[in-house]
Amino acid sequence: MGQSGAIPVVLEVVMQNETILVPLAPGQVLGAQSTPLLTYAEAAGAKLTLVTVVQQIQMLGSSGLSLLDLLKRAMQSQQETLDAQAYELRLRYPSLRVDTEVVSGKPFIEIVKAAERHGASLIAIDASRRHKSAACQYGSTTRHLMRKSQVPLWVLAPSERTDFATVVAAVDIVTCDPETQRLNEQIVQRAQAIAEQQGAKLQVCHAWRLEAEGYLRNWARYSDTEIAQVAQQEERHRRVRLEALLARFGLTPERVPVVMLEGEAKAEIPAFVERVGADLLVMGTLCRSGISGFIMGNTAERVIDQVRCSVVTLKPDGFRSPVLAEEVHHAD
């Protein structure tokens, strides 16, 4: 269950003046799986903005109304539906500020634009589909947002739980460049904030492997024993770096378990998430430097496709959504 009383310091810092954008498909209602998100938002009085995108009407012939009139009526109907949901949310969560907006266009494009327009620091989307059995089978809108949103994305997976028991943060501490370090800090901050509010256990994992093993074995003629010693040293160095990352937030291994996963990240992270019964995975989706449109690495995509829990994905600070970049280009 969520903690009561004073707002945790990390939660307060992460959520200060936070606006959370919640896209809803026409007619969609927030289900039970949204409860952790809503309690998280209410804990610090974050503003929730419900947005529905009505797609442009494509129709041949005449129905007695212009396409513009049909679109206006559809948007008015969705606005009434959103306002009714907002009213219900205010009754259930009195401290929660809730706004609504209905726009028209292509869903993922308009959601990215709305996040920019409202200054959102988080997008939360319900990815469940009645005809799909697993959360990894995302709809196209969710997939586009994972790839092209510069705002962190919280994907709500189908669940009977109304709170979280275990939150896993996956970080990559191999490189020391400032962009990656900052992304790791954001992953830990966001994961800890959610875990604290939910009263959940936080675990931090790092998947690694000795990439030089082939060279050591074939070129340096290292024995199996020598390779094992090198691997132990490498793991120890990575663990020290990971513990130093946590120490910046006052976290110790006794309080937050550090788990080193030896092997490929795309296999080891989903297996670990499944093994500990995680309710939420928080991880980064690293972009390829200099290529603004290629923002989701193959490893991140493979991990996300295999997990069944809710997922929060974050981008590096320097990433600019190609949707917004294209909009600026057209304006010029």
Task: Calculate the dihedral angle through the C-alpha atoms of 64, 67, 72, 75, rounding to the nearest 10 degrees.
Answer: 120
Q: How far apart are CA 176 and CA 4, in angstroms?
A: 38
Can you tell me whether residue 107 is helix, strand or coil?
helix
Q: How far apart are CA 59 and CA 191, in angstroms?
A: 46
Number of Cβ within 10 Å of residue 6's Cβ equals: 8
pLDDT at 12: 52
Please tell me the total number of residues recorded for the chain in this structure: 332
Number of Cβ within 10 Å of residue 114's Cβ equals: 18
pTM of the model: 0.86
Residue 163 · residue 36 · CB < 8 Å: yes
pLDDT at 10: 55
pLDDT at 175: 76
Phi, psi of 82 (to 5 degrees): -65, -40
Q: How far apart are CA 130 and CA 276, in angstroms?
A: 26
Q: Domain spans of the chain?
A: 9-331
Percent of the chain with pLDDT over 70: 78
pLDDT at 125: 94
Distances (CA, A) of 88 to 16, 45, 49, 76, 132: 24, 17, 14, 19, 28
DSSP 256-317: S-EEEEES-HHHHHHHHHHHHT-SEEEEE-PPPTT-TT--S-HHHHHHHHH--SEEEEE--T
pLDDT at 161: 79
Helix (H) or strand (E) holding 114: helix 107-117
Helix (H) or strand (E) holding 178: helix 178-198
pLDDT at 108: 94
Pairing relation of β-strands 310-314 and 153-156? antiparallel
pLDDT at 7: 42
Q: How far apart are CA 78 and CA 56, in angstroms?
A: 14
Q: How far apart are CA 102 and CA 227, in angstroms?
A: 60
**Token pair for residue 122?**
């988080």
Closest CA to 204 of 276, 146, 142: 276
Residue 139 · residue 129 · CB < 8 Å: yes
Q: Give the model confidence (pLDDT) of 28-86 as tens digits.
A: 888 888 999 999 999 878 999 999 999 876 554 555 567 778 888 889 999 999 999 99
For 9-331, CATH number?
3.40.50.12370
Give the residue ranges of the chain where pLDDT is below 50: 1-7, 60, 130-137, 214-215, 288-295, 328-329, 332
Number of Cβ within 10 Å of residue 144's Cβ equals: 18
